Amino acid sequence: MRKFKFYTISVLFLSVLLIGLSSCKKCKIEGENVDAGEIITDVAIYPLSGYQTYDMDSEYHVHSNSPLVNKFEMSADNGFTRSPFNFSAYSILAYPITLNCNHFLSREVFIDHDNSTATYKITVTQCKEAQCEQQRFLENYVVIPAIPESYTILHDIQIIEQ
């Protein structure tokens, strides 16, 4: 009887251990969001409402002649004071994306004045499994020096899943 108890307890312990090690491995993403290139990080952008990228017709460039010109505010002092967005000095680029809750972003903008283009590059590193009930929708607004509305906006989006 004693051997049976020892055997049963040993099998039960090993089963629990194996199930614990093989089930639901949590993904941990280490890194931080980085903005580089022509992105101006000293100016914070505040959209007056969410989901404005739905009204952008896939152009994702807000400039002084854009229909969304009055839908943004800005701050140069970490949000303490806000003012209407200054489109004579800055433009806004966006690229909406839905991501898993564990992620970090690297965003860069390159402006090519010779070819009248701006390339908005976003590299996302995220967990392969969502690990949350709802994914996150980001409109990815960035502030750049003002560029003419005639510039072509190119997007280079890469998603790395771990």
Query: According to the per-residue pLDDT averaged within each range, which of 43-52, 56-65, 97-106, 139-148 is highest?
Result: 139-148
Domain boundaries, the chain: 27-161
* 121, containing H or E segment: strand 117-126
- pLDDT at position 20, please? 43
What average pLDDT does the segment 104-130 reach? Answer: 93
- pLDDT at position 34, please? 95
In 7-102, DSSP assigns E strands to: 34-37, 44-47, 61-62, 72-75, 83-84, 90-93, 97-99
Q: Are 43 and 75 in contact (CB under 8 A)?
A: yes
Q: Are 90 and 43 in contact (CB under 8 A)?
A: yes
What average pLDDT does the segment 95-113 reach? Answer: 92
What average pLDDT does the segment 138-150 reach? Answer: 95
Return the higher-pLDDT residue of 61 and 57.
61
Of 36, 32, 29, 31, nearest in space to 107 by CA: 36
Q: Are 75 and 93 in contact (CB under 8 A)?
A: no
83-84 vs 72-75, strand pairing mode:
antiparallel
- pLDDT at position 134, please? 75
> pTM, whole model, 2 decimals?
0.79
User: How is residue 149 written in tokens?
Assistant: 């509305």
Task: State the Cα–Cα distance between residues 127 and 100, nearest whole angstrom.
Answer: 7
Q: Is the pLDDT of residue 55 over 90?
A: no
Q: Is the pLDDT of residue 11 over 70?
A: no
Say which residues have a Cβ less than 8 Å from residue 64's Cβ, sequence separation at least 6.
87, 88, 146, 149
- pLDDT at position 23, please? 42
Which percentage of the chain shows pLDDT scores above 70?
83
Write down the mean pLDDT value for the chain: 84
- 121 exposure class (CB count in 10 Å sphere: 0-12, 13-18, 19+): middle
